[in-house]
Structure 1
């Protein structure tokens, strides 16, 4: 089945369940490793992971192009899968030697003893990302999140084993690499198609899209990870570690938005290729309405008790950067809206516009981030990221309006979520001023009260939220 035939809401709900399970496993692991390795060792792992994420973009962009062509009505699935796997095998042959020469000539990042695990992770991740791109274009696109969950189940014990064996940060890299390799067969099984060697015409069709999706991937990934790249190059791995724990605490805010955007691009592409503007607009409006539903309460909760959250979860060595947590939480809210708009533009077959918009955001982020880092440290980098994301969001909003003028970009559900979040903030902030958070129990009480206030208020004031929840529950019970 194609993405257009999928039960979109039900697939999103399945994907979100997988995201929560994966997030719980990953979060538990992050607390353990952040405490055992300390900010420096924990930060070194994320420097390696960030470099892999940036350098694998030719592969990711190629996989995105395969996904786009697959969603068009006349492209063979077997050739799309074959093309993606071929790219995953060929690109590392070029990229890894170039990365090694760049590492030896610049030594910009301290990767002592980490290049071999970096290379192993790079190869396995290439196979994983291209296969999941194809799976995300299928009707069962929520299986992508379950694949990631399976990988998380493998990752944490494997990383723990390598760390206990004395590998340190390299052990975390090896653990992730082995877990990724173990998950690829499951992804191929869920695609349920035999790869076929692509014809020349198929490769050319994919390449015509890849010439934009590859630079788009570089631009998007670099912008999303520029904070870590700047901190690792200009400050220390310890600063990366402190930044990363703030990212971990706000990760749950991305669950619904990321799952939604995974299926949205394929559905927009299919509907747009059929000239079905109404169905396209409806899907985009729904995606925008619910993408930030978890990010908003996390932002208001972080604003109410930033430093206590960091210290209670990760320990006193990660204190003093509460403003970073609040800034990243706000970025998550805006980013969840931006990625829906970016997926929409990609589905409209205008990857060139995503390239230009992404380039504007990246230049602004790098330039402003460098200046503010020198003046304000970690907080300056986060401020630059927020500004560049807001600019990117506004431009994407304008572009989508040119194609889909009926889409209400500030939807009713989003307005209801913001109001519910503000009410939650008032309650939690008031309670926090009366309590001294000294252990996990106090934190659990405050978080529980905040979650209850937000969910009850939102359910009470938002009819679209109630309707959507009933519809998803009904579909789940029917199945």
Structure 2
């Protein structure tokens, strides 16, 4: 990876780490104060919002693609805003039309909050984010996201502290999204050549031509994160959903680095394809696959050994999610690989291939969730996501191989697995001395494991060593 791309990824990841720390601390307070059931209700609210994003029909991804191409970006931005405003009005209209069903499903009169949250998330902050990503400023976009999440946690904790409970969670999110939009708009107006102009018919055609294949990508993204929770809302209690959602949130921290790579890889590949630098794309795909598994691989070992101790921090009831946590960290690893391959396929402007991959994932995920959740509950949801994501990775890699011949970094991944196993052995040994029965010992064991893992990788992997030194030199 070139220096500029490496720096963008590093700063994007740094922003994600800040977000994770804020979210971790906030969730601990909220979980201990509210318990699993209210968190389950809030998870269902977010699930409804995320499923409303299907109305986007791929417009966001198409906008990022067209803006990154650097041609008539002012017209593209305006055309996108017109399309997304129309979508927002339609989605909110449908929400109020079926408000009785939605309120019954969630367990309370929350439709108005959902409507405001959807508008803020999709049309306001979403517009700012997609423009930044189109201009290849994913680092700034992630920074704004980190700011929003940090403010959200602060507002939510404050509102819950004074007694607002579930409504406090939603008001806190609305406020943080509004502030993120304002800060992002100020940045765009002051630091970019943003110049929205009246769009032509061809701008709409170009966006829709890409979006029509990307719609299933939107559905896949929501299915990956929210299909299980949406179906669990029918079959299991809000408490079970709350426990599952905390386990999911913990597991997805291991995919943050991979997400940062993916977000930066897509516009980078898009630019390289235009410049006819296919060899560079081949190198980037192999490198990104190596770094994608850097955190999830040791995360699986860590979840097996210390998962119950970590979940205890949220409250005694949350330890029921230990095995679910292990499965979801496996999902994080698969998702990390899947995201890199998708970024390359989309960069080649082959939404038709993405369409095929996504429809396979969606059908598999929906069928498995419907079969497994009624019988196995939240465990069935985790198993369904593991199996459907594994299939998606295999199909995605085969599709990507038809575009660019890249090799999977087997030896590098083998060294990561070796380092993770050694890390696990050291943690088991030291747990005899420092039993993970309290927060301090648990955090010490996690820190020790991370130190051992990265120290071994620093010795075994030249790529890790050189990249670490490069980042340290250029911070």
Same fold per TM (> 0.5)? yes
Q: Secondary structure at the match of 1:336?
A: helix
Q: Secondary structure at the match of 1:246?
A: helix
TM-score (norm 1): 0.93
2:68–2:270 CA contact under 8 A, matched in 1? yes
2:187 counterpart of 1:190: yes
State the partner residue of 1:151.
148
2:132 alignment partner, one of 127, 131, 135: 135
Structure 1: unaligned runs, 5 residues or longer:
none
State the partner residue of 1:212.
213
Greater mean alpha carbon deviation, residues 53-62 or residues 104-113? 104-113
State the partner residue of 2:114.
118
TM-score (norm 2): 0.94
Matched ranges for 1:178-327 at <5 A = 178-191=175-188, 192=192, 193-311=194-312, 313-327=313-327
Q: Using the alignment, how far apart are the partners of 1:386 and 1:121 within structure 2?
A: 30
State the partner residue of 1:441.
440
Structure 1 residue 426, shift from structure 2 partner:
2.1
1:44–1:237 CA contact under 8 A, matched in 2? yes
Structure 1 residue 427, shift from structure 2 partner:
1.9
Q: Using the alignment, how far apart are the partners of 2:411 and 2:200 within structure 1?
A: 47
Greater mean alpha carbon deviation, residues 457-466 or residues 153-162? 153-162
State the partner residue of 2:167.
170
2:90 alignment partner, one of 87, 91, 94: 94
State the partner residue of 2:343.
343
Structure 1 residue 49, shift from structure 2 partner:
0.9
Large movers: runs of 4+ above 4 Å: 105-108
State the partner residue of 2:421.
422
Q: Using the alignment, how far apart are the partners of 2:80 and 2:300 within structure 1?
A: 37
Q: Secondary structure at the match of 1:196?
A: coil
Q: Using the alignment, how far apart are the partners of 2:357 and 2:289 within structure 1?
A: 19
1:59–1:130 CA contact under 8 A, matched in 2? no
Distance 1:140 1:105, change over 3 A: closer
Q: Using the alignment, how far apart are the partners of 2:238 and 2:295 within structure 1?
A: 30
Greater mean alpha carbon deviation, residues 387-396 or residues 43-52? 43-52
Distance 1:79 1:416, change over 3 A: farther
Distance 1:134 1:333, change over 3 A: same
Matched ranges for 1:47-58 at <5 A = 47-58=44-55
Deviation by residue 1:158-194 (Cα, 9 ceiling, x = unmatched)? 2123324433212211211111111112223333213
Q: Using the alignment, how far apart are the partners of 1:463 and 1:5 within structure 2?
A: 16
State the partner residue of 2:41.
44
Matched ranges for 1:2-41 at <5 A = 7-41=4-38
1:305–1:432 CA contact under 8 A, matched in 2? no
Q: Using the alignment, how far apart are the partners of 1:120 and 1:87 within structure 2?
A: 18
Q: Using the alignment, how far apart are the partners of 1:475 and 1:427 within structure 2?
A: 33
Q: Secondary structure at the match of 2:467?
A: helix
Q: Using the alignment, how far apart are the partners of 1:420 and 1:245 within structure 2?
A: 27
Structure 1 residue 343, shift from structure 2 partner:
1.3
Greater mean alpha carbon deviation, residues 97-106 or residues 422-431? 97-106
1:43–1:240 CA contact under 8 A, matched in 2? yes
Structure 1 residue 278, shift from structure 2 partner:
0.8
Count matched residues: 470
Structure 1 residue 22, shift from structure 2 partner:
1.2
2:61 counterpart of 1:64: yes
Structure 1 residue 105, shift from structure 2 partner:
4.3
Structure 1 residue 6, shift from structure 2 partner:
8.0
Aligned-residue CA RMSD (Å): 2.0
1:60–1:129 CA contact under 8 A, matched in 2? no
Structure 1 residue 143, shift from structure 2 partner:
0.6
Structure 1 residue 86, shift from structure 2 partner:
2.5
State the partner residue of 1:77.
73
2:306–2:436 CA contact under 8 A, matched in 1? no
Deviation by residue 1:120-171 (Cα, 9 ceiling, x = unmatched)? 1000001212321221122432111100111123212221233244332122
2:136–2:268 CA contact under 8 A, matched in 1? no
